[in-house]
């Protein structure tokens, strides 16, 4: 049995009209039975939180940088082993702070991009479907 014959048999057995339908959640919001739902408000809130955290980390994460460096240098200069340990802790803190800042910036930027990208893709799909429907009438 060919695919077309099998498909015709399946359609008639189902007893339902078969056609293409584009599902869309009410009001353009995610949810329902959609496979992929993007809630712009939630993305925006997460992106804003990541942006705010980034701003606070830039300010608060570095507030003791100068004093810590000076203390570590002073302790090392005077022969205290704690100076080297303090310098190592400071380097580790700076490295981890940089990683966290990069992650916050990446989250914020990616969510902004994702929201815009999904909106553009949705419009492109709508336009393509509308154009394909028009082409059917022109034939």
Q: Parse the chain into domains and list their residue ranges.
A: 40-138
Higher per-residue pLDDT: 100 or 18: 100
User: Hey, CA dihedral for 81, 82, 83, 87, is it positive or negative?
Assistant: positive
d(CA 34, CA 124): 18
pTM of the predicted model as reported, rounded to 2 decimal places: 0.53
Nearest to 42, CA basis, from 124, 126, 118, 121:
118
Q: What is the pLDDT of residues 84-132, one digit of tens each?
A: 999 999 999 999 999 999 999 888 888 777 777 777 888 888 888 777 7
């Amino acid at each position: 049995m060919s695919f077309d014959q099998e498909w015709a048999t399946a359609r008639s057995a189902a007893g339902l009209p078969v056609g293409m339908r584009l599902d869309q959640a009410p009001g353009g919001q995610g949810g329902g039975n959609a496979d992929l739902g993007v809630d712009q408000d939630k993305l925006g809130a997460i992106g804003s939180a990541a942006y705010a955290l980034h701003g606070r980390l830039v300010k608060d994460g570095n507030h003791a940088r100068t004093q810590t460096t000076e203390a570590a240098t002073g302790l090392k200069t005077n022969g205290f082993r704690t100076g080297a340990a303090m310098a190592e802790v400071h380097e580790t803190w700076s490295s981890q702070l940089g990683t966290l800042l990069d992650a916050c910036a990446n989250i914020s930027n990616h969510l902004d991009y994702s929201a815009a990208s999904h909106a553009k893709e949705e419009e492109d799909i709508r336009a393509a479907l509308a154009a394909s429907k028009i082409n059917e009438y022109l034939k």
